[in-house]
Amino acid sequence: MPELAQRLANVQVSPSAAMTAKARAMREQGIDVISLANGEPDFATPRHAIEAAYQAALSGDTKYPPQGGTPALKAAIARKFRRDNGLDYGPEEIIVGNGGKQVIFNAFMATLDPGDEVVIPSPFWVSYADMAKVAGGVPVTVSCPQNNRFLPRPEDIEAAITPRTKWVMLNFPGNPTGAVPSREALAAIGEVLLRHPHVWVLSDDMYEHLLYDGHAFSTIAQVTPGLKDRTLTVNGVSKTYAMTGWRIGFGGGPARLIRGMFNMQGQATAGVSTVGQAAAAAALDGPQELVEERRRLYEQRRDMVVALLNEAPGLTCHKPEGAFYVFPNLAGCLGKVTKGGRRIGNDTDFVAALLEEKHVACVQGAAYGMSPHMRISYATDSESLTEACHRIQEFCRELS
């Protein structure tokens, strides 16, 4: 039988997707599983965005789309960048992809040569490292421990940069920790990056509108304007507008980089769904009151989940500043045995036993580059969250 490519040996199936699939399979068997594994808003897409897609289809806007994005959506994205981030991008400096993931993938494919390094603060979204590997790059992680609020220290980023560094990744609010730096802390990172002109900077801002406790959002090209000509600012409509299934992400950056990404996208997927782009433009330009209403609900859920998890023996849960995840430490549960007889040697054992015995799906911290933790998404209804947290408490109380 013909062989598969060697590159697959270095790429793992997304652990969050795998856990979500396992929870779905258990539900299909009639098991009452509560999944907190998936980073997907439980809210509906705004009605005016759906209506815009419907009208686009009725009007015949169903042909092949422009490869890098429709003029209407690019204009809406430019307005969004100016309104929310104080950044000016022209049409040639914007690209639309099939989700933010494709935008990042395009950037890596357009810039990384074999052996080039990508500096990634850890914990990190699982796909960063694997996408870098597929493109021939080498992930270089920078540890961001809980005692520094899961934020990278400027001196640690500088220490990780070498002549082979091609990218430094920034993701705030962060997945999986919800970490948010102050403007001053982000500016300090920017000062480091200014000293290394051979390095591209990627700012993944997908959770920018989900901030709590009065925290304000900043992005690196805004805080350190001298970096704008080598920064790719990535965003989308998935998290802010509950449009994960529409698959619309976008990036703003220097025209030379965007042209390279355009070429890569042309050989992968070409353009993005025309009706999806119409919906995204309507979401970006339309009423924004829903964004704040949902942000307040997420904040209430965060407070509830943090309080309940901190009542579970062996768990300590930080209070994140943004996104819709918590990343509790479960060191106090290691070495113990579950009621069902499973020994908890690490965080992977913990989440596997929790799913099997209490039917709650979470994702091990090892998947995000830091143990012993687990990621819990609170992007689900309060009743399910409460029940899931009670099951976690019971699971921890039964450990011996």
Q: What are 347-397's pLDDT values in tens digits?
A: 999 999 999 999 999 999 999 999 999 999 999 999 999 999 999 999 999
Residue 67 burial by Cβ neighbours in a 10 Å radius (0-12, 13-18, 19+): middle
Domain 47-285 part of CATH 3.40.640.10: yes
Section 5-11 average pLDDT: 85
pLDDT for position 9:
83
pLDDT for position 26:
87
The mean-pLDDT minimum among 17-21, 53-57, 113-117 falls in: 17-21
Taking 90 as the threshold, does the pLDDT of residue 24 lie above it? no
Section 38-63 average pLDDT: 97
pLDDT for position 228:
98
Q: What are 177-219's pLDDT values in tens digits?
A: 999 999 999 999 999 999 999 999 999 999 999 999 999 999 9
Position 107, amino acid: A
Section 14-31 average pLDDT: 85
How far does CA 331 lie from the centroid of its chain? 25
Sole residue written with tokens 């997707």: 17
Residues 176, 123: contact at Cβ < 8 Å?
yes
Q: What are 240-259's pLDDT values in tens digits?
A: 999 999 999 999 999 999 99
CA–CA distance, 179 with 204 (Å, rounded to integer) = 13
pLDDT for position 21:
84
CA–CA distance, 322 with 215 (Å, rounded to integer) = 8
Taking 90 as the threshold, does the pLDDT of residue 313 lie above it? yes
pLDDT for position 16:
77
Residue-averaged pLDDT of the chain: 96
Q: What are the start-end ranges of the H helices in the chain?
A: 15-28, 47-58, 71-80, 100-111, 127-134, 154-160, 183-194, 220-223, 255-268, 274-285, 289-309, 347-358, 382-397
pLDDT for position 177:
98
Identify the CATH class of 6-44+290-397.
Answer: alpha beta
Domain residue ranges of the chain, discontinuous segments joined by +: 6-44+290-397, 47-285
pLDDT for position 73:
98
Section 124-132 average pLDDT: 95
Taking 80 as the threshold, does the pLDDT of residue 152 lie above it? yes
CA–CA distance, 301 with 70 (Å, rounded to integer) = 37
Section 156-172 average pLDDT: 98
Q: Which residues contact 307 (CB under 8 A, 6 or more apart)?
A: none
Taking 90 as the threshold, does the pLDDT of residue 37 lie above it? yes
pLDDT for position 17:
79
Section 252-269 average pLDDT: 97
Q: What are 326-357's pLDDT values in tens digits?
A: 999 999 999 999 999 999 999 999 999 999 99
